[in-house]
Structure 1
Amino acid sequence: MSTEPRVLAGRYRVDELIGHGGMAKVYRGYDLTLGREVAIKILDPDLARDTAFRTRFRLEAQAASRMSHPSIVRVFDAGDSAADASSDDPPYIVMELVKGTLLKDIIAAGPVPLDDTIRYVDGILEALNYSHRAGVVHRDIKPGNVMVTPDGKVKVMDFGIARAVSDSSSTVAETTQIIGTAAYFSPEQAKGEPVDARADLYSTGVVLYELLTGRQPFRGESPVAVAYQHVSETPVPPTELNEDSPGALDPIVLRALAKDPYQRYPDAAHFRSALDAAVAGEAPTRKQLGALTSELYGANPRQAQETARSLRQLSTDTTMARTQSGPPVAWIWAGVALLAVLIASVLFWVVTMRPPEVPQTARVVPDLVDVASDRAQADLAELDLEAKLVLETSSDIAEGNVTRTDPQAGVAVAKGDLVTIYVSTGQETVTVPAIEGMALDAARQALADAGLELGTVIQRNEPEIAGDTVIESSQPADAEVAPGTVVNLVVASGKVTLRNLSGFTIDAATAELEGLKLIASPIDQGECAAGVAPNTVISMSAAPGDVPVGSTVELRFCSTAPAG
């Protein structure tokens, strides 16, 4: 007994389950309005009971939907019954359906070639460079959120969703319970501190480390133990775990995994440039690598680790007895060191992080991609900017919505400047020509001229139609279809099927041949043999089967009964 398919918001049909994680399940779906396949992520019922989480989930999904980049899985829509009293739909997100393999499955399958490693990380950084410029921090970069398409392109998933998770969790333990792993956390995430784009660069460094060595830099028995290592321990250079890893990439990895965000690459573009330069560069000496490790992680990181572990134990173990009247010496020196680091960090921030002054007359072009054209014009008018509409076709953006702007989103312009809005006219289409009745060569040319592709040609025996004449087309004449659509044809073979006429009377056999547009040629062989009736076909000159239309077929018969 079949069941009625589930439809969300009266628009999105939910089909089979294709994946699941700690916070949601992902289904293959179909957008009934735009007629396209999509992926639908439905929030776990336990998380859906948290009103604050539902709100953040919805708002962040809406923010992610405004990003449009080839390396980012598009978010098309989001829904939540909390915003619509008439609906009982669970919180859901409608995304681009991407076919490919998760990066975590590629890593699990065995060593990843260096060229592929560089291409995958470069694709992640390309996506992050776009999202960071748009003001969106991913917060959950890991191989499970990276899809590699069959042609090797990288697609980063779940932008904005990770932020809803981390914002609704107060501790590392709670956060890892939802996300499922702390292996890719930045130190500031592990400590519950505010994060910025450099947290994504740290996580990308962990992914690069895993691609080079086959394992993450820090592993432990629990998520809290792993998170603690992110905060306090020094990573082993990749070449110490995999001698085939290029030594030139060791400094790149160590820089990306710096505990202090200010010692990492300032942005994804600098990370990409350093990665490209390292591929063709020389490996550092052991002395140079040691100096870099000391600079990034301290001259004696193990000492700092033991001090931090002791402090952590003292702060949590109420059974330990004090053995001296004053504070422990380690506490004093740790406090002095911490104060010095804080002062240096504040001074560095004051000097380097002061935002540039922007003239009050300046305006920033908003992100209008996939926004209705009239709404986009109104948004620009509110910013005192002029709008110019230009129409263009698009296979991804619905008709009437904005495909892109010039200048693009995030660019500062002056009051009154002109912003060109490119508006989708829908997918480009071509008209199928009327080719039934044409010769095959002429039909092939007509399809090519229309921008269509000839597909399968099936031959059919039709005695009334000349050979190689088009009988049927898989696309009706005058239909509007996408350029490059494959059109299959049925053409006349120029042949007919001849059956065995032996035993037919000569008149019946002649009539049969004429109906097949064949020429009957009766040949009288005189006296019949014993047991053969006069005026019946004894044999034919053509064997049963397909024969060309208009062929002559000899019908041999006898006309005289045997004597005696």
Structure 2
Amino acid sequence: MTEQPRLLGGRYELGAIIGRGGMADVIAANDIRLGRKVAIKLMRRELASDPLFLARFRREAQAAAGLNHPTIVAVYDSGEDIVGTGTDAASLPYIVMELVEGETVRDILRSGAGFTPERALQVARDVLTALDYSHRNGIVHRDIKPGNVMITKSGAIKVMDFGIARAMSDSGNTLTASQTVMGTAQYLSPEQARGGEADARSDIYSLGCLLYEMLTGKPPFTGESAVAIAYQHVSGLVVSPSEVNPEVNPNIDALVQMALAKDATERYQSAAEMRTDIDRALIGDKVTAVLPTVPMNYSAVTVKPVATKSRTNPWVWVLSAAGVFLAAAVAIWVYGSSLNPGGGNQVEVPDLAGLSAEAAITVLSDYNLVLGSITPAESDRPANTIIDQDPDVGSRVAEGSSVNVTISAGATQIIVPTVAGLVSAEDARRVLASVNLQLGNITSVDNDQPEGYVVGSIPPAGTSVPVGTRVSIEISNGFGVVPALEGLPEAQARSDLGAAGYQVVVVPQPAATALPGTVLAQSPAAGTRLKIGSRVSITVATSDVPVEPEPETP
């Protein structure tokens, strides 16, 4: 007797499993009511009793159901299926989606087929179209990666899996707040890696990682663990795509680097803005991308407490944050305990150094471990990041065990970084802010550097100062002083003028009493205050002395 297909919701005949994820299986199915093929994402039974996973799964259905666009996998229906009987009965939520025939970008990359720069830009452009639509509808995807981008047999792009998407207006939701660091390590934005809020610009960063991998065949950062990769997103420098793939031109380098800016304010501020720049690159026009600044000591990430009128003890906000992290840790512990009540399996303790306590919760959950006590300690390491842990990295412990951590409460003294040579006061402000110092007075001075360049600081670089100190800077006003040139050899005069930032105009003059090539005069005179880049003329002796004709003999 032929076994009847399992029927879901009274209308969906289930077929073969076509995909597996951490939370659900994806099954090909037939909608017998409408006579069409669909894909059904069905939550795994072992997770159905966990309220956090249930809430996340239902949130995906709500987020994706409200998005109706050709570049986004459509959601048709959702519901819950009762499996088992009696005390073994469980309600499994499911989502009915458009069945897309094709392959993911991940599949293409793994096959070695790769993408030409032009095709990579076209794929990125269509993903940005999807993101532009979802962002305008108030939804941040938060997990853009090769596995979540489908390319159909006709070449169309479909973005899928809004499983950790979040409404932009939902930042106060405690469930969302405890999951802001969720995502895939190789495509995680710096703010997500630090445990901060994800917004539309976080999706831009992840799209930049995706584009980078399509252009070069590998993600911008790799490492032995998710922790190592996440740390690089916060502090590592990205190698330009053209250095990996010579077919990539500087135009594409620029837009990728802007998308991957560590500071979200230096990225494209919307998906539409980046898409417009990609359109320029596709037709060979110059892009508008501005290369992000790379401040010194960029890895010195700080978490700023909320300003108040009265002086608040720094331990208050550190310990308050610890309370939030511990609450989230309890939720993760409940999940770990429900899946591994025996706790007999041994796992290796991961490296948590440099992560926020919130990010550590997510990393530990991947190992079925939980965050234990959080102890603040004064340190010159970035505030609110883990500086020690117990058990140590690599230790073998039972699943469900706690890992205690020590977090940096920040330093009381900071070394003033070098700002001389930066091209603007704004660049100096960013560098100072990255080490928790403030920009003080800005003084314009005569200097041989171009106008606006930073030429020094007070206190000077290398000085130890309290956190929050205001550092004043001097910037070049574009004026310098003309050096003394008379009597010098022409080559030396040219060198001195070039070093001072001036252009040289040479006026040859025959001279019987001076060595050829000697500067006889200059204009303007030595000591004159003159705009950098101006011309300074020098009169140089030549050997061509005119000969007086001999008088004719009568």
Q: CA deviation at 1:19?
A: 1.1
**Could you tell me whether the CA contact under 8 Å between 1:58 and 1:80 is conserved in 2?**
no
Q: Structure 1 residues 327, 262: CA separation in 2 closer, same or farther (over 3 Å shift)?
A: closer
Q: CA deviation at 1:264?
A: 1.0
Q: Which residue of 2 aligns with 1:53?
A: 53
Q: Structure 1 residues 56, 108: CA separation in 2 closer, same or farther (over 3 Å shift)?
A: closer
Deviation digits for residues 345-404 of structure 1 (CA, Å, limit 9, x no counterpart): xxxxxxxxxxxxxxxxxxxxxxxxxxxxxxxxxxxxxxxxxxxxxxxxxxxxxxxxxxxx
**Could you tell me whether the CA contact under 8 Å between 2:81 and 2:93 is conserved in 1?**
yes
Q: CA deviation at 1:129?
A: 1.0
SS in 1 for 2:140: coil
Q: Which residue of 2 aligns with 1:31?
A: 31
Deviation digits for residues 229-273 of structure 1 (CA, Å, limit 9, x no counterpart): 111112111111111212211110111011121111111110011
**Could you tell me whether the CA contact under 8 Å between 2:140 and 2:165 is conserved in 1?**
no
Q: Which residue of 2 aligns with 1:297?
A: 294
Q: Structure 1 residues 100, 328: CA separation in 2 closer, same or farther (over 3 Å shift)?
A: same
Alignment of 1:4 onto 2:4: yes
**Could you tell me whether the CA contact under 8 Å between 1:61 and 1:93 is conserved in 2?**
yes
Given the alignment, which residue of 156, 159, 162 partners 2:162? 159
Q: Structure 1 counterpart of 2:32, which letter?
A: L
Alignment of 1:227 onto 2:230: yes
Q: Which residue of 2 aligns with 1:91?
A: 93
Alignment of 1:317 onto 2:314: no
Q: Structure 2 counterpart of 1:91, which letter?
A: P
**Could you tell me whether the CA contact under 8 Å between 1:138 and 1:162 is conserved in 2?**
yes
Q: CA deviation at 1:332?
A: 8.4
- Segment drifting more, 88-97 vs 149-158: 88-97
Provide the C-alpha distance between the structure 2 equivalents of 1:126 and 1:79, rounded to a whole number of angstroms. 29
Aligned runs of 1:392-471 on 2, under 5 Å?
A: none
SS in 2 for 1:122: helix
Aligned runs of 1:141-220 on 2, under 5 Å?
A: 141-163=144-166, 167=175, 170=178, 175=182, 181-220=184-223
SS in 1 for 2:7: strand
Q: Which residue of 2 aligns with 1:562?
A: none
Q: CA deviation at 1:5?
A: 1.8
SS in 2 for 1:311: coil
SS in 2 for 1:147: strand
**Could you tell me whether the CA contact under 8 Å between 2:432 and 2:439 is conserved in 1?**
no
Alignment of 1:129 onto 2:126: no
Deviation digits for residues 149-190 of structure 1 (CA, Å, limit 9, x no counterpart): 1111101111354449x95684788x4xxx6x3101111111
SS in 2 for 1:219: coil
SS in 2 for 1:234: coil
Provide the C-alpha distance between the structure 1 equivalents of 2:42 and 2:434, rounded to a whole number of angstroms. 48
SS in 1 for 2:13: strand
**Could you tell me whether the CA contact under 8 Å between 1:76 and 1:96 is conserved in 2?**
yes
Aligned runs of 1:337-348 on 2, under 5 Å?
A: 337-340=434-437
TM-score normalised by the chain length of structure 1 = 0.51
SS in 1 for 2:186: coil
**Could you tell me whether the CA contact under 8 Å between 2:301 and 2:382 is conserved in 1?**
no
Q: CA deviation at 1:276?
A: 1.5
**Could you tell me whether the CA contact under 8 Å between 2:45 and 2:90 is conserved in 1?**
no
Provide the C-alpha distance between the structure 1 equivalents of 2:24 and 2:211, rounded to a whole number of angstroms. 26
Aligned length: 323
Given the alignment, which residue of 268, 271, 296 partners 2:271? 268
Provide the C-alpha distance between the structure 2 equivalents of 1:54 and 1:327, rounded to a whole number of angstroms. 41
Provide the C-alpha distance between the structure 2 equivalents of 1:25 and 1:318, rounded to a whole number of angstroms. 36
Q: Which residue of 1 aligns with 2:110?
A: 108
Q: Which residue of 1 aligns with 2:326?
A: none
Q: Structure 2 counterpart of 1:106, which letter?
A: I
**Could you tell me whether the CA contact under 8 Å between 1:71 and 1:123 is conserved in 2?**
yes
Q: Which residue of 1 aligns with 2:350?
A: none
Provide the C-alpha distance between the structure 2 equivalents of 1:315 and 1:16, rounded to a whole number of angstroms. 45
**Could you tell me whether the CA contact under 8 Å between 2:117 and 2:247 is conserved in 1?**
no
**Could you tell me whether the CA contact under 8 Å between 2:6 and 2:13 is conserved in 1?**
yes
Structure 2: state its 5+ residue gaps: 168-173, 303-352, 356-379, 391-409, 418-430, 441-554
Deviation digits for residues 189-214 of structure 1 (CA, Å, limit 9, x no counterpart): 11221111111111100011001111
**Could you tell me whether the CA contact under 8 Å between 1:202 and 1:257 is conserved in 2?**
yes
**Could you tell me whether the CA contact under 8 Å between 1:62 and 1:77 is conserved in 2?**
no
**Could you tell me whether the CA contact under 8 Å between 2:381 and 2:411 is conserved in 1?**
no
Identical-pair percentage: 44
Provide the C-alpha distance between the structure 1 equivalents of 2:301 and 2:162, rounded to a whole number of angstroms. 35
Provide the C-alpha distance between the structure 2 equivalents of 1:238 and 1:302, rounded to a whole number of angstroms. 22
Q: Structure 1 residues 239, 222: CA separation in 2 closer, same or farther (over 3 Å shift)?
A: same
Provide the C-alpha distance between the structure 1 equivalents of 2:75 and 2:438, rounded to a whole number of angstroms. 41
Provide the C-alpha distance between the structure 2 equivalents of 1:42 and 1:114, rounded to a whole number of angstroms. 37
Aligned runs of 1:470-481 on 2, under 5 Å?
A: none
Aligned runs of 1:279-294 on 2, under 5 Å?
A: 279-281=282-284, 293=291
**Could you tell me whether the CA contact under 8 Å between 2:103 and 2:151 is conserved in 1?**
yes
Deviation digits for residues 399-443 of structure 1 (CA, Å, limit 9, x no counterpart): xxxxxxxxxxxxxxxxxxxxxxxxxxxxxxxxxxxxxxxxxxxxx
Q: Structure 1 residues 6, 297: CA separation in 2 closer, same or farther (over 3 Å shift)?
A: farther
Q: CA deviation at 1:312?
A: 5.8
Q: Which residue of 1 aligns with 2:471?
A: none
Structure 1: state its 5+ residue gaps: 320-325, 344-564
Q: Structure 1 residues 162, 47: CA separation in 2 closer, same or farther (over 3 Å shift)?
A: farther
Deviation digits for residues 296-355 of structure 1 (CA, Å, limit 9, x no counterpart): 3325657889x9797169952389xxxxxx967447879964545899xxxxxxxxxxxx
Q: Structure 1 counterpart of 2:154, which letter?
A: D
Provide the C-alpha distance between the structure 2 equivalents of 1:254 and 1:112, rounded to a whole number of angstroms. 19
Q: Structure 2 counterpart of 1:71, which letter?
A: T
Alignment of 1:70 onto 2:70: yes
Q: CA deviation at 1:78?
A: 1.6
Q: CA deviation at 1:225?
A: 1.2
Q: CA deviation at 1:67?
A: 1.4
Given the alignment, which residue of 244, 267, 284 partners 1:241? 244
Q: Structure 1 counterpart of 2:95, which letter?
A: I
Q: Structure 2 counterpart of 1:263, which letter?
A: E
Deviation digits for residues 275-309 of structure 1 (CA, Å, limit 9, x no counterpart): 1112344789xxx99xx65x43325657889x979
Q: Which residue of 2 aligns with 1:548?
A: none
Q: Which residue of 1 aligns with 2:312?
A: none
Q: CA deviation at 1:66?
A: 2.2
Q: Structure 2 counterpart of 1:216, which letter?
A: P
**Could you tell me whether the CA contact under 8 Å between 1:61 and 1:75 is conserved in 2?**
yes
SS in 1 for 2:139: coil
SS in 2 for 1:80: strand
Provide the C-alpha distance between the structure 1 equivalents of 2:111 and 2:381, rounded to a whole number of angstroms. 41
Greater fraction of residues in helix: 1
Q: Structure 1 counterpart of 2:16, which letter?
A: E
**Could you tell me whether the CA contact under 8 Å between 1:103 and 1:146 is conserved in 2?**
yes
Q: Structure 1 residues 76, 211: CA separation in 2 closer, same or farther (over 3 Å shift)?
A: same
**Could you tell me whether the CA contact under 8 Å between 2:298 and 2:434 is conserved in 1?**
no
